[in-house]
Copies of this chain bind each other. A is one copy, B any other.
Amino acid sequence: MSKPAGLVSATIVCLAVSVLFSPLRAPAADAVPAGGPLLSPIFGLPVPDGYREWPLVAVSHRTDNKDELRAILANPAAYKALHGGAIPLPDGSILAKLAWKREPMTEFEGAFRPGVAPRIEFMYKDSKKFPATGGWGFARFVEGKPADEATHKSCFPCHEAKVKDRDFVFTRFAP
């Protein structure tokens, strides 16, 4: 028995709406806004496509001025280099640092899970484009928008002071 035309139209509209609002769509941070991607000041770098599915290099926990769990992901070029302990990383490498407030896991006393994500950050290796900052360009986004210029000026001096001998990268591969 064929459906009446109205029911067919309603079904199509419902399908369209569920595709548009499906939780399987890329998270907002991945979306490129109208008018082109938002870029970090100084370095001019966007949120890289597909970063959330990149493999994990390592996790970390910062406790000094914040209580955050982190995950450092890497695009294939960077992952291959860090997995093999090969530094400096090749041009084209990108690292992503995801951070979340540490919050109690209600289902398991003494365990903590990711809470609010205050920012996402990226390091892009391009030795020709960024010679003054060890070949790295930096990008921090807060709620999908690039952080300000002062913030971006503060990235390299810390990496330079602490991990210059490891191509300015804190994270080591965690087997």
Given B54, B60, B84, which contacts A22 in the complex, CB threshold below 8 Å? B84
Interface size on A, residues (CB 8 A): 48
| Chain B residues whose CB sits within 8 angstroms of the CB of A112 once the complex forms | 60-63
Q: Is the interface of A mostly helix, strand, loop or mixed?
A: mixed
Q: Is A125 an interface residue (CB 8 A)?
A: no
Per-residue contact bits, chain A 154-175, to B (CB 8 Å; 1 contact, 0 not): 0000000011000000111011
Per-residue contact bits, chain A 35-79, to B (CB 8 Å; 1 contact, 0 not): 000000000000000001111101111111100011101000001
- Nearest B residue to A107, CB-CB: B162
Given contacts A84-B23, A105-B170, A174-B100, A62 and B29 within 8 Å (CB-CB)? no
Distance of A100 Cα from B54 Cα, bound (Å): 20
| Chain B residues whose CB sits within 8 angstroms of the CB of A105 once the complex forms | 60, 170
Given contacts A24-B84, A83-B23, A174 and B114 within 8 Å (CB-CB)? yes
- Distance from A175 Cβ to chain B, minimum over Cβ atoms (Å): 5
Do residues B24 and A80 form an inter-chain contact, with CB atoms below 8 A? yes
- Distance from A50 Cβ to chain B, minimum over Cβ atoms (Å): 10
Sort A-B residue pairs by CB-CB distance and give the 8 closest, nearest first.
A64-B110, A114-B174, A23-B84, A24-B84, A61-B112, A53-B55, A107-B162, A59-B69
Taking beta carbons and an 8 Å cutoff, which residues of A are in contact with B?
Answer: 22-24, 27, 29, 52-56, 58-65, 69-71, 73, 79-80, 83-86, 98, 100, 102, 105, 107-114, 117, 162-163, 170-172, 174-175
